[in-house]
Amino acid sequence: MSFLNYFRPQNKNTAQVAKERLQIIVTHERSPRGGPDYLPLLKEELLLVIRKYVQVDPGAVRMQLDRDGDRAVLELNVTLPERETGRED
């Protein structure tokens, strides 16, 4: 870092930064788009079924549809509360 750098204009390309940030956030928020319409309902009903057995909160169920070419993978991730993983008889 030379002393002269102090006087050079900062040549930061903020447009590039904006583009990269947008690409990430838009891809993230878009994931439900293009997926089947029943996805939110399916999630809700699955949650109800799970709740018949284990009390989990809505945030503990994560559902993701990933596409890879012509193959789609539906991933369901349920975080069970620590105490109630086993049923007491």
Partner 1 sequence: MARIIVVTSGKGGVGKTTTSASFAAGLAKAGHKTVVIDFDVGLRNLDLIMGCERRVVYDFVNVINGDANLNQALIKDKRIDTLYVLPASQTRDKDALTQEGVRQVLEELSKSFDYIVCDSPAGIERGALLAAYHADDAIIVTNPEVSSVRDSDRIIGILSSKTRRAERNEEPITVKLLLARYAPARVQKGEMLSVEDVCEILAIDLLGVVPESKSVLSASNAGIPVILDADSDAGQAYEDAVARFLGEDRPHRFLSEKKGLLGRLFGS
Q: Binding to partner 1 by residue 15, rule CB under 8 A?
A: yes
Q: What are phi and psi of 77, to 5 degrees?
A: -125, 115
Cβ 45 vs Cβ 58: under 8 Å: no
| Smallest gap from residue 27 Cβ to partner 1 (A) | 9
| Smallest gap from residue 51 Cβ to partner 1 (A) | 27
Q: Tell me, what amino acid is at 30?
A: R
Report the Cα 70 to chain-centroid distance in Å: 21
Q: Binding to partner 1 by residue 49, rule CB under 8 A?
A: no
Here the contacts of 73-79 (C-beta below 8 Å, separation 24 or greater) are 76/46, 78/50
CB nearer partner 1, residue 12 or residue 87? 12
What does the chain come to in residues? 89
Q: Which stretch binds partner 1 (CB under 8 A): 18-26, 41-49, 53-61, 73-81?
A: 18-26
Q: Binding to partner 1 by residue 33, rule CB under 8 A?
A: yes
Residues near partner 1 (CB under 8 A) are 11-16, 18-19, 21-23, 25-26, 29-30, 32-34, 37
